[in-house]
Amino acid sequence: MPPGQSVVPRLRRLDLGVVPRVPREKWDFRVTGAVESPLRLSWAEFDGLPRVRITADFHCVTGWSRLANVWEGVSFREVAARARVKPSAVSAMLYGGEGYTTSLPLSVLMDEDVLFAHTLDGKPLPEEHGGPMRLIVPKRYAWKSAKWVRQVDLLEKHELGYWEVRGYSDTADPWTEDRYSL
């Protein structure tokens, strides 16, 4: 357990106040920027991609952790391979609901446990926790695991996302309690 965290029995809902509700027939997912093959996938196309399953803890910057979550979805590596990320790409900006963004270095996103999750503990991901799909980055605080992701923009220069420009750490490492930038 990372320092400064306490275990909770279920995920808590933290967001900017609005749960985006997009019917699956109107939902799409885009991969843009420094890629050879930009993607635009419908829900059916995304749901048909090869699936992975991981068991990972989830750590919130506010001090709670839920342990041993079973996430299922599509690995970031799979999406990156299909889009054919250019060698010049160094990071990605992820766009979720409510105008939310977060960014991560490509080296972090390419970890084997990073995925676009649509299932939690054997059930479809609830809307209030990012359903139908959210990013999961287990080795970072949860604000890096953007809810309601609809676009990934591969960047040739790293940029800061929503919370990072407001003083939160860009690395967000729960094991070093890297919560805020100095």
Q: Is the distance from CB of 149 to CB of 73 less than 8 angstroms? A: no
Number of neighbouring beta carbons within 10 Å of residue 105: 15
Structure confidence by residue, pLDDT tens digits, 47-59? 999 999 999 999 9
Mean pLDDT on 135-142: 96
**What does the alpha-carbon distance between residue 138 and residue 145 come to, in Å, rounded to a whole number?**
8
Residue 150 — very low, low, confident or very high, per pLDDT cuts 50/70/90? very high
Question: What does the radius of gyration of the chain's CA atoms come to, in whole angstroms?
Answer: 15
Convert 115-128 to b/e letters by CB count within 10 Å (16 or more is b).
bbbbbbeeeebeee
For the record, the structure tokens of 107 come out as: 């080296």
- Interval 2-28: pLDDT, tens: 999 999 998 887 766 777 888 889 999
Average pLDDT over residues 100-104: 95
CATH architecture of the domain with range 24-176 = Alpha-Beta Complex (3.90)
pTM above 0.85, yes or no: yes
